[in-house]
Structure 1
Amino acid sequence: MAVYVYSIISKAHPARLDGLHGVGKPPGALRTVTAGTLSAVVSDAPEDLRPRRRDVLAHQEVQESLMGDGPVLPLRFGLTAPDDDTVRTTLDERAEDYLSRLQALEGCAEYHLKVSWEEEALLHRILVESEEAARLNKQIRDGAGTPEMPLALGELISREVEARQRALGAGIIEALRPFAREDDSTTPTGQDFLSVSFLVEESQEEMFLATQLSLANQLGDECDFRLRGPLPPYSFV
């Protein structure tokens, strides 16, 4: 029977699964599959597996509970294998990589930061600080501009927005990087200009959080900081 794989842990991990339940309805019973020095936490895979809220929450709860007792390689929702033997074979074949990542994640959690810049505030800043943008805007508003000027102003503002967001995003990452073991940026969506995950050691969490809060306070209401964590380190598996 197909098995659903939640995470990979060391064989020495306590793997306390009592009180936890797996995905599916009724929920699958959790167990471990072991090969060498590694174990995988699994359950029987439901036939109609989809990212239902109850199943996503069950998947996440398993990761968070295991994290409390040692490093975990949390796998993304939906990973299945044909059977237990396939899981054992994979653990054997990739043992060196998995053990290396478990060591890298020891005592760490993931924090994910998204930042957006309020559009009107950024536009106002550009029109105040860019002489060229201010000049074009004034001529257009005074009725002295040419038909080409609105397009030129729009292109200039677009370039300024991109450059300022890129520079601020890089600055935020550099300010937080000293307190993280690793970081991983992803393509932002919507109004966000920054989407980045940090792998933070427990001993550095206080400084990381204080620095993030200081940055948010310095930038004020213009920028919206949204920090989630501590999370299972999905981005660093």
Structure 2
Amino acid sequence: MAVYVYSIVGKRHPLRLDGVTGIGEPPSELRTVTEGSLCAVVSDAPDDLRPKRRDLTAHQEVQNRLMADGAVLPLRFGLTAEDDEAVRAALEASATEYVDKLQALESCTEYHLKVSQDEDALLRQILADSSEARELNDEIRSGAAGPDTSLALGELVAKEVQARQDALATGVVEALRPFARDQEISQPTGGDFLSVSFLVSEDQDELFLTTELSLANQMGDEFQFRLHGPLPPYSFV
């Protein structure tokens, strides 16, 4: 039977998993596979493995329980191996890498921050600051615009939006960087202009959260800060 792999921890991790069950229906029993100084938390993998809510919750609960007692390399949902021997071989092959990562993640959690800006407020700012944009907009509103005026205004506004939001994203990351061991920027989606994960140590946690809240207040109501965490450090594995 295939093996589902949840996490990798050090052999000395207390592994207090009493009362925690794995994925599947009925829930699978958790067990460990040890190789050298490393230990993988695994269970049997169900035949119909899919990201069902119950299984996603079970996967996350394993990470949370392990993270409460020490460093953990949380693996993404859905990782399977052929059998326990395949897991043991993977631990052996990448032992140095896994040990180094566990050391880097010691006493750390992840925070994921997304930031968006009200589009109407941003457009008003651009029209207020750019005489060229105002002139093009006035031409369109008066009915005197040429056939290419709308396109020219759209290109100008798009360029301004990109430049301004790139600068804002850089500013937010730089303000929070001193309180994080590492950061991982991902491609924003939807209306967000920033999507970034921070690896934050326990001794910097309060300063990080205070600074993030201060930034959100300083930037004002037209910006929406959405901070998720503390989370298992998926982005840094």
- The two structures have a TM-score, normalised by structure 2, of 0.98
Partner of residue 61, structure 2: 61
Superposition pairs for residues 63-102 of structure 1, below 5 Å?
63-102=63-102
Partner of residue 217, structure 1: 217
1:29 aligns with 2:34: no
The code of the aligned residue for 2:167 comes to A
Deviates more, 1:194-203 or 1:130-139: 130-139
Superposition pairs for residues 71-150 of structure 1, below 5 Å?
71-150=71-150
CA–CA distance in structure 1, aligned partners of residues 130 and 121 of structure 2:
14
* Residue 146 of structure 1, CA deviation: 2.3
Partner of residue 189, structure 1: 189
1:18 aligns with 2:18: yes
CA–CA distance in structure 1, aligned partners of residues 213 and 234 of structure 2:
23
5+ residue gaps, structure 2: none
CA–CA distance in structure 2, aligned partners of residues 180 and 172 of structure 1:
13
RMSD over aligned Cα atoms: 0.8
* Residue 137 of structure 1, CA deviation: 1.4
The answer on whether the counterparts of 1:3 and 1:80 sit within 8 Å (CA) in structure 2 is: yes
- Could you list the runs of 4 or more consecutive aligned residues of structure 1 that deviate by over 3 angstroms after TM superposition? none
Q: In structure 1, the residue corresponding to 2:97 is in which secondary structure?
A: helix
The answer on whether the counterparts of 1:17 and 1:31 sit within 8 Å (CA) in structure 2 is: no
Cα deviation, 1:54-104, whole Å, max 9, x if unaligned, reads 000000000011001000000000000011111111111100000000000
Question: What number of residue pairs does the alignment pair up?
Answer: 237
The answer on whether the counterparts of 1:115 and 1:194 sit within 8 Å (CA) in structure 2 is: yes
CA–CA distance in structure 1, aligned partners of residues 145 and 33 of structure 2:
72
CA–CA distance in structure 1, aligned partners of residues 53 and 68 of structure 2:
23
Residue identity (%): 66
CA–CA distance in structure 1, aligned partners of residues 131 and 52 of structure 2:
53
Partner of residue 46, structure 1: 46
CA–CA distance in structure 1, aligned partners of residues 190 and 216 of structure 2:
20
Cα deviation, 1:6-48, whole Å, max 9, x if unaligned, reads 0000000000111101000000000111000000000011111
1:159 aligns with 2:137: no
Deviates more, 1:204-213 or 1:226-235: 204-213
